[in-house]
Amino acid sequence: MTTLRKVWAVSSAYARSVWAYPGAEALRTIFLVFLVVILIVFLALWRTTYSTMDTGSLGGMRLPQMLEYLAGTEAIVLSAPAFADRIGDDVRTGGLAVQLTRPISYIAFQFAVAAGESWPRLALNLAVGSLVVALATGSVPVGPAGILAYLMAYVPAFLLYASLFLALALTSFWLEDAWAVTFLASRSVMILGGLLVPLSLFPPVLARIAQILPLQLMVYGPAQQLAHPFQDFGGLMLQEAIWLLVLFALLAFIYRKGVSALHVQGG
């Protein structure tokens, strides 16, 4: 069985498990309520902003496009995998010893689980978010091309996000609890990733800094495809590919160091 088929098997098992327990999934609806509430608040905020500025377009987006962009960013972040909790538990409980003996690499397993859990949730979040935007603005700001471009850009964006946060979560091998490190990174994504304000509205200096970092590729990159399907798409994919190589290398390095540290401790 090739690694890819194993990854697929684990992913689809975890994707099914997301819906296997309706009660548990109902508990997660708190995120959907938050998504609806935050979009209502954003609608109020940006509607006021467009009317105060007396303009039809801000940062190259009309109001419905801006809201669809924000639905797209929130969908990504609210469906993001929580590596720190899972890996921290593995380290603290000693469950890692069992995980390492599985016939699939620990890293590939974590990616598979994350994809299996995140992708169905992303679809649900985006559907709910788009519905709210359509109902609130009375228009459908995104067509099939926008959704296709968003999903195509999301796959490498997800791998980037997963690589970075998995690498940070692996610091649990030394710290036991990587919550603080990943929390700081998630808050950096909120600002520099363009979760709340698109990079096109950043002050110029900050926009340049954000453009250099990979965080905007994880959120802003895919979400702006909803507003401008396939615009600068090649450049976006190229940037994502380059950063993927860098973050994969970083992840592999941290994992190798971490596992050998575990051996040293007799784990």
Partner 1 sequence: MSKADRRRFWPRLMLAAMRAQLAYPGAFWLTILAMVLNDGVWLAFWWLYFSRFPVIRGWRLEDVAALWAIGASALGLVQGFGGNLSRLARLITQGELDVYLSLPKPVLPHLLLSRVNVASLGDVIFGPLVFLLFLHPSLVRLGLFVLAVALAGAIFLAFLLLLHTMAFFLGRADLLADQVTISMVTFSTYPSPIFQGGLRLVLFTLLPAGFINTMPVSILRSPDPRFIAATAAFALLLSLLALLAWRQGLKRYASGNLFQARL
Binder to partner 1 among 16, 92, 187, 208 (CB under 8 A)? 187
Residues in Cβ contact with 79 at an 8 Å cutoff, skipping those fewer than 6 apart: 118, 119, 121, 122, 124, 125
Task: Identify the three-state secondary structure at position 223.
Answer: helix
Interface with partner 1 (CB under 8 A), residue from 26, 97, 123, 127: 26
Nearest distance from C-beta of residue 232 to partner 1, angstroms: 22
Residue placing its CB nearer to partner 1 in the complex, 91 or 251: 91
If one asks whether residue 180 binds partner 1 (CB under 8 A), the answer comes out as: yes
Span interacting with partner 1, options 26-34, 60-68, 100-108, 164-172, rule CB under 8 A: 26-34
DSSP 228: S
Cα-trace Rg, the chain: 19
33 or 98: CB nearest partner 1: 33
**Is 61 within 8 Å of 201 (Cβ atoms)?**
no
d(C-alpha 85, C-alpha 179), whole Å:
7
Q: Are 141 and 68 in contact (CB under 8 A)?
A: yes
CB of 207 to partner 1, least distance (A): 10
Out of 108, 151, 196, 237, which residue is the one contacting partner 1 (CB under 8 A)? 196
Cα-flanking dihedrals φ and ψ of residue 196, to 5°? -105, -30
Binding site for partner 1 (CB under 8 A): 26-27, 29-30, 33-34, 37-38, 40-41, 44-45, 47-49, 52-53, 177, 179-180, 183-184, 187, 190-191, 196-197, 201-203, 206
